[in-house]
Amino acid sequence: MWFAIIGTDVPDSLEKRKSARPAHVARLQQLLDEGRLLVAGPFPAIDAPDPGPAGFTGSLILADFPSQAEAEAWAKVDPYVDAGVYASVSVKPFLQALPRA
């Protein structure tokens, strides 16, 4: 089943994000390589593809996991969690309606 993993950043998270990004992206790449990643990306703090020093307010990951518990366990050990980038993380089941898979 697909799960939406939504991380909400702490204020002024940009430097923490930069330092933890390689490890964070490596985990996402592993999901992609396994065919389990639908989409992932950050929420810019401003309406711009490169928000510069404004940074980001969080992230969205849509990934396939066997259960909610496994999705939550995966999210709990994300490098952004370990680095203190996220103030909170929520995991919700997701059903893709459109486009049809």
Per-residue pLDDT of the chain (101 residues; tens, 9 = 90+): 999 999 999 999 999 999 999 999 999 999 999 999 999 999 999 999 999 999 999 999 999 999 999 999 999 999 999 999 999 999 999 999 999 87
Cα-based distances in Å from 29 to 19, 24, 33, 61, 63: 17, 9, 6, 12, 11
Given a contact cutoff of 8 angstroms between Cβ atoms, the answer to whether 8 and 81 are in contact is: no
Given a contact cutoff of 8 angstroms between Cβ atoms, the answer to whether 94 and 4 are in contact is: yes
Given a contact cutoff of 8 angstroms between Cβ atoms, the answer to whether 61 and 4 are in contact is: yes
CA distance 5 to 96: 14
Q: Considering the entire predicted model, what is its pTM?
A: 0.95
- Could you tell me whether strands 2-9 and 86-94 are parallel, antiparallel, or unpaired per DSSP bridges? antiparallel
